[in-house]
């Protein structure tokens, strides 16, 4: 069973992600802030991380950089999720090495398709 770490400060987004992925055979671990995300990424060793950009204290870009700098977390693929439709955020995410970028609101089915594609080795 593939494990996904979902990181978002909005509980309703976490519930949506968790519901869709669990119903499709994934184990889902959740975090509501960057610090928890970093701890869980190291301890749970997820196969994929879904990461919100706009979070208090530590934004998704900072979390992603720390993940890339960590030996145990450097190779975990990341899909960014954000309410910001700014092209600059998408460009930055992709330049940093994100596997995909989804703008909220997103279709749960589209999210599932992207997760499956990334885990299968596609972009």
How many CA atoms does the CB half-sphere of 116 hold within 13 Å? 11
Whole-number pLDDT of residue 123: 61
Provide the residue range defining the domain that includes 28. 3-119
- 21-47: pLDDT as tens digits: 999 999 999 999 999 999 999 999 999
Choose among 23, 1, 28, 10: nearest CA to 83.
10
Give dist(CA 37, CA 90) in Å, integer.
21
Mean pLDDT of the region 69-79 = 96
In the chain, % of residues over pLDDT 70? 98
Number of domains in the chain: 1
Give dist(CA 90, CA 95) in Å, integer.
9
CATH of the domain at 93: 3.40.50.2300
Choose among 57, 27, 62: nearest CA to 45.
27
Whole-number pLDDT of residue 103: 92
């Amino acid at each position: 069973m593939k494990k996904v770490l979902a990181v978002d400060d909005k509980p309703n987004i976490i519930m949506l992600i968790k519901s869709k992925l669990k119903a499709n055979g994934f184990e889902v671990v959740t975090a509501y802030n960057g610090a928890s995300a970093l701890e869980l990424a190291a301890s749970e060793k997820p196969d994929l991380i879904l990461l919100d950009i706009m979070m208090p204290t530590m934004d998704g870009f900072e979390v992603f950089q720390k993940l890339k700098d960590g030996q145990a977390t450097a190779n975990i693929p990341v899909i960014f999720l954000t309410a910001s439709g700014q092209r600059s955020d998408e460009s930055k995410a992709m330049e940093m090495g994100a596997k995909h970028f989804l703008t909220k609101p997103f279709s749960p089915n589209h999210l599932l398709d992207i997760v499956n594609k990334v885990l299968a080795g596609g972009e």
